[in-house]
A = this chain, B = another copy of it.
Amino acid sequence: MIKMKISDLGEKKLIKRIIANIRSHLKDFNIEGLGDDAALIDMGEEYIVATTDLLRQTSHFPEATTYEQMGWKSVTVNISDLAAMGAKPLGFLVSMGLPAHMRVEEFDELLGGILKACDHYRVPLIGGDTKEADEIILAGAAIGRTLKGEVLWKSGSEEGDLVGVTGQLGLAAAGIKILLSKMGEVPVAEDLLSRIMDHALKPRARLKESLLIAKSHLVNAATDITDGLVSELNELINASPRTIGIRLYEEKLPIPSEVEDIARFLNEDPLELGIYYGEDFELLFTLPPENVTPLRDQLDFHIIGEVTTTGTIEMVDKEGRTYILPVKGYEHLRG
């Protein structure tokens, strides 16, 4: 008999396996949000919201990443999960694996990046642990709170809703691809390049926008798109109790022309960078058409598609042809 390895399963399937395993374990507890971006603990009028996310140096940080950027990102990935639920952060904790040969000043940079990000999101660093490890490992956990009526679930999309996304797509991916290509001179203006690198190496979670969206009561479902737009659209589809689908319009996707230029230069598909690669810390949400204008008064966002009942993710390309997008993500455990 051939024994299956977890790398044969992949990360998403492994998480599904975990969730299936813990459903019966959880039946005696008041826990909601299983399979959503963060878990919710029922505290009466509000929920305590909690999430954890682990980054390690060799697989999550391009070589050019500074220690400060590593620390910053470990906060951002966790805060983004709170933002995806509409939760206000209460505290951040980080367990660090650190190489024994790491210099004290390097450690101070790493901690400095964590503290700068915590200050940026107005969240206190409340706990930590340090252990020796072969490489830098940053296992963060974030705790937040939200009123019960203001949770941003993955599950609430309705047929006819429009699909919105904050910010632009593919900037982080373009930056990481530039770093990985090691091609040196990329034909991009200095200020744009530095903006792209900032997206790739020092991303900002859309916390303020998330709290605005949660308070507005104008959206039906939301998540973040750090695992890639298509992968997260698929999450919205899977979370819905009814069969829904999503139709995207290529011409509406906010992929900047500069991302397209960089993709061409690096021999990459710009659409791949924009909708599959992930690492853009933007929010994705669905809302009734009549809510678009009221929400636009509070927040910039792009409408990129609509909710259907097909069970699939369709793309209408720039020539008006419709095709079905395969669901694939960038999975760390896929061998």
Contacts and interface: CB of A to CB of B under 8 A. Distances in A.
B52 A100 contact: no
A104 to B, nearest CB: 5
A39 interface: yes
A113 to B, nearest CB: 12
Contacts of A93: 39, 50-52, 141
Nearest to A94: B52
A129 B53 contact: yes
A53 B6 contact: no
Copy number of this protein in the oligomer?
A: 2
A4 interface: yes
Given A5-B100, A52-B139, A59-B132, A91 B31 contact: yes
Given A25-B124, A48-B143, 11 more contacts: A4-B104, A25-B118, A26-B125, A34-B126, A41-B126, A50-B141, A51-B93, A52-B95, A54-B137, A130-B333, A137-B137
Interface of A: 3-9, 11, 14-15, 17-18, 21-22, 25-26, 29, 31, 34, 38-39, 41, 48, 50-56, 59-60, 90-91, 93-98, 100-105, 107-108, 111-112, 115, 118-119, 124-134, 137, 139-141, 143, 332-333, 335
Give 9 nearest A-B pairs by CB, closest first: A139-B139, A39-B126, A54-B95, A141-B141, A7-B100, A29-B124, A52-B93, A95-B139, A4-B104
